[in-house]
Amino acid sequence: MSTHETTVTDEQSHSVSDPILEIRNAEVVFEMDRGVSRVLDDVSLEIERGEILGVVGESGSGKSMLASSTLDAVVEPGVLTGEVTYYPEDGDPVDVLDLTPAELRRLRWEEIAMVFQGAMSSFNPTMKIRDHFEETLEAHDYSLRDGMSRAHELLSDLYLDSERVLDSYPHELSGGMQQRTLIALSVVLQPNVLVMDEPTAALDLLMQRSIISLLEELKSKYDLTMVFITHDLPLVAELADRLAVMYAFELIEQGPTQELLHDAGHPYTRALLNSTPNLDAPLEEMRPIPGSAPDPVDVPTGCSYHPRCSLATDRCVAKAPASEPITAAHTVDCHHWKDAVDAISLNHRKQVGSETQNRQQRPETSDRTRTRTEMNHQDQTSPEGDR
């Protein structure tokens, strides 16, 4: 585990006033032949009721481990320790890691739902979509009549022809339709939190953007809290209220989306922003991050980013940095964040996140019309295309 110099106080560490989920000192360890693989390292995070939190980081940085930890769903032989607390709006806090298997099953669908990438593998190919909905409702003792009426509504909300989809086998739907159907299935039991792990990774760019618009609509209509996990920073920047950045199995920076995009303090976050290929900046200004992500069995000492960091000093090699507040709502784990702002200029300063601002300024009706038109067009023109 990293040895941090000090720990930031609770008052300093975040701006979350009404958490719905709280993860404290979460750690996931796999005992491997070649050593101990710590794939989540002392991660603490609060998720505000009603927010959309984006979790970003390179492939292999531990994002899926964090997602699985929120539901005590880390695959064996991985061992999860720490605390995960769910705070229902009414009722006592729930210690997620202390639940019986039956309690956990109930929590997983009825309170916190998860959507993973590659919808096809989440469906049983021999069952029609209708059977998936009915099986889920029956397993949780929900009224089939009410539940199926909600299924129709949700599928329509996601611009799908609900009758056609319910009567289809999964392979009869395009990738974008499958992913939207999986989102509808995930929220049919009216959970309060939806955790999505790379939900749009297998889809083309247009479908990704359309799903982002749909998620915003779903969130408002059904009062959901969302956690959107992805390596695609520009995509999630369009949706998220706050961003949390992972590097080498740790959370290294978190804050409000616009603040983090324009005033990122961690050299890694700044490098990630500069390396992202589909930001609105000239291609020649894209700068890949030198070096490679650490092996979880052999994480560098001190700040794990130091071998790749242009600002690293002896202090970074010796000591893992504590979280420091940049503003009340924005924290960073870096000894040199004050220098990073001047030393690593951002190549996108003006453009990143402008989609979000544009969307917020756009009247809701035109957004909905645009999304519906795009979805209809894509479903009709490329039934197989984005699979």
Residues that bind ligand ATP (CB under 6 A): 30, 37, 39, 57, 59-65, 75, 231, 296
- CB closer to ligand ATP out of 65 and 211: 65
Question: Residues with Cβ < 8 Å from 321, sequence gap 6 or more?
Answer: 4, 5, 303, 333, 334, 335
Question: Residues with Cβ < 8 Å from 363, sequence gap 6 or more?
Answer: none
Question: Residues with Cβ < 8 Å from 152, sequence gap 6 or more?
Answer: 162, 163, 166
- CB closer to ligand ATP out of 60 and 353: 60
- CB closer to ligand ATP out of 35 and 93: 35
Shortest approach of ligand ATP to residue 168 CB, angstroms? 28
Shortest approach of ligand ATP to residue 44 CB, angstroms? 17
- CB closer to ligand ATP out of 63 and 348: 63
Shortest approach of ligand ATP to residue 22 CB, angstroms? 20
CA gap 289, 267 in Å, rounded: 10
At 263, which helix (H) or strand (E)?
A: helix 257-263
Q: Where in 219-310 does DSSP place strands (E)?
A: 225-230, 242-247, 250-256
Shortest approach of ligand ATP to residue 65 CB, angstroms? 4
- CB closer to ligand ATP out of 159 and 249: 249
Residue 328, token pair as written in the block:
């009340």
Shortest approach of ligand ATP to residue 132 CB, angstroms? 24
Residue 81 β-bridge partners: 27
Shortest approach of ligand ATP to residue 239 CB, angstroms? 17
Residue pair 203/129 in contact by the 8 Å Cβ criterion = no
Question: Residues with Cβ < 8 Å from 345, sequence gap 6 or more?
Answer: none
Residue pair 239/54 in contact by the 8 Å Cβ criterion = yes
- CB closer to ligand ATP out of 27 and 134: 27
